[in-house]
A and B are shown apart, each in its own frame.
Chain A
Amino acid sequence: MSKYVLRVTALGYLAFLLLVPVGFVFYRAFGNGLDAAWDAVTTGRAIHALELTLLLTAIAVPANTIVGIILALMLVRTRFRGRGLLNAVVDLPLALSPVVVGLALYLLYGRGGWLGGLAGHGVHILFAVPGMLLATMFVSLPFVVREVVPVLREIGTEQEQAAETLGARPLQVFRRVTFPAIRWAVAYGVVLTTARCIGEFGAVSIVSGRIEGKTETLPIYVQSLYAFDFNTSGAYAASVVLALIAILTVVMLRIFQPKEEAL
């Protein structure tokens, strides 16, 4: 009896908090019909926002993946002083509010900041794509590292050492031995990183200046439509695009889930 009560309560809580809101986005988006929703997401401004979001993701994800694998290898396979500190630094983006990340970039690259002089030489970081890219890279940095580290620990070094004694060079060892063992963890981390890049709002909002058609990502565009243009149905339509990407993300996470956790 109590089993059913628990089940109903837990599932009810989930439905109320997760499923109903997400379902509601779809409901409101298509409230005026499919055509109206399609129109809202195919304006020049909307398409630019989508393109910019994808561009930032397309650069940040490979960068954080490559660096993430290197950092994971450093943290697990090599002993050096400051290893604990490196671990903490890698985790920092998870503990920081996105607003604080945006502020830090604003202080560094804005007028009066240490690198504020760059703007005078034609290198625009703030109010332009490079600043948004830095913000996106910052907030999405930890995911690949955190997924790969436990797997590296678990698999141990015997196989790699065996390969080395057989004469393989380091890059070969990595390509033939290490990477195949961690590739599902990497894939899982890549999906998390991608989701984080696409969904980022606070940090990018601060450094971008939210210039229409130039420095608006899709999440910024959603907020602007709602809070500024009083275009609620447009905001929902754009949200549906993001929600669909989120659902795709969840499906991919399930596919790449580490086997022991799969139900």
Chain B
Amino acid sequence: MRAIWIALLGVAVLAGSASGATKGGSIALVAYSTPKDAYGQIISAFQKTKAGNGTNFSQSYGASGDQARAVAAGQPADLVALSLAPDIDLLAKKGLVARNWAANAHKGIVSDSVVVFVVRDGNPKHIKGWGDLIKPGVQVITPNPFTSGGARWNVMAAYGAERKAGKTDKQAIAYLKTFFQHVPVQPDSARSALQIFAQGKGDVLLTYENEAIYAEKKGVHTQYTTPKNTLLIETPVALTKSGAGKPSAKAFYNYLWSASAQRAFAAQGYRPVVKSVAKNYHFFKPAGLFTISTTKLGLNGWTKVNTRFFHPTKGIVAKIEKSLGH
């Protein structure tokens, strides 16, 4: 009897150490909630290349903020593919990612998207622009900005669109306050926001263009519309310190900007960042597209915006949520 006990303990220890150990050919990818299908394709293609032959991957998908915190808390990761740069900067501050992670030809950005409106089939409430979101009776689904990266893109798209329409900073913030009054629930991630919308909650969902395309692929009864003024979403990838020490992880990182990986992204609705690939696809060009660094609209890059709007206690959004009783 005692022998069995010891044997079982041994199995447990082995199982534990096996999952903690990192062999040369195993790569841990931690990503935000939506790009699972895209990375699935890219990983398969990479494993057929010479550099990727024999590698095996572990993948974890979830809300961008939560995933960053999980990696900071010890979740193993060789590559982090998150929704926005500040989530990776958080890891850089903790020494888990090199400080110069964004220093490549594409500034660490691996794919683009835009903020779009997903509505029910037929668009019964005729939602076209940002003003329609705050019409009486309209319910907007957007994730929780303190867990989800997509939510932060949504909020800054709303703010930027108001500024682009000529409003002042104060008026744009007032719009945000009205906007949040129309949000009945804030799911934790972009993917779970889609899930809740698909189940019938809300009239319009704010999300990535690629997520709207995913919904259509999965047969959800929705359609999407791109507002004239909207924000360019730039999603980054970085090698962690542990990934930087693995040749296979570095090879995969570089592979993400190869033509075949960028094409795989495009096939899933992500806008490629490599120009030679992008010119073969005809993604819709919103007339009033702006970025997080369009300073004349008050968007001074993510570092400043993140602090100003999304600081957990002093940020503008935190204050708005508090005043609304959330």
| Pair count A-B, CB < 8 A | 88
B76–A124 CB distance below 8 A: yes
Nearest B residue to A116, CB-CB: B74
Q: Which single member of B19, B60, B220 contacts A129 (CB below 8 Å)?
A: B19
B62–A210 CB distance below 8 A: yes
The segment out of B3-11, B81-89, B134-142 that lies at the interface is: B3-11
B287 contacts the other chain (CB 8 A): no
Q: What would 16 more interface pairs be, CB under 8 Å, given A124-B16, A212-B60, A227-B191?
A: A58-B8, A59-B11, A62-B8, A66-B1, A66-B5, A122-B17, A124-B20, A124-B76, A126-B75, A128-B16, A130-B16, A133-B15, A209-B60, A211-B59, A211-B75, A227-B192
Contacts A126-B73, A127-B70, A211-B58 given; does A63 touch B8 at CB 8 Å: yes
Nearest A residue to B26, CB-CB: A214
B195–A111 CB distance below 8 A: no
Residues of A bordering B, CB below 8 Å: 55, 58-59, 62-63, 66, 110-111, 116, 119, 122-130, 133, 209-215, 227-230
Nearest A residue to B198, CB-CB: A230
B16–A110 CB distance below 8 A: no
A59: chain B residues at CB < 8 Å are 8, 11-12
Residues of B bordering A, CB below 8 Å: 1, 4-5, 8, 11-13, 15-21, 28, 33, 36, 58-62, 70, 72-76, 191-192, 195, 198, 218, 220
13 A-B pairs within 8 Å (CB atoms) are namely A62-B8, A111-B73, A122-B21, A124-B16, A127-B74, A129-B12, A130-B16, A210-B62, A211-B58, A213-B59, A215-B19, A228-B192, A230-B195
A209: chain B residues at CB < 8 Å are 60, 70, 75
CB distance from A140 to the nearest CB of B (A): 15
Kindly state the separation between the CA atoms of A124 and B72 in the bound complex, as whole angstroms.
Answer: 14
Kindly state the separation between the CA atoms of A122 and B75 in the bound complex, as whole angstroms.
Answer: 12
Q: Which single member of B4, B17, B20, B74 contacts A62 (CB below 8 Å)?
A: B4
B74–A111 CB distance below 8 A: yes
Q: Which single member of A122, A125, A230 contacts B220 (CB below 8 Å)?
A: A230
Contacts A211-B60, A228-B61 given; does A130 touch B12 at CB 8 Å: yes
Nearest A residue to B217, CB-CB: A230
A214: chain B residues at CB < 8 Å are 19, 58
B11: chain A residues at CB < 8 Å are 55, 59
CB distance from A132 to the nearest CB of B (A): 9
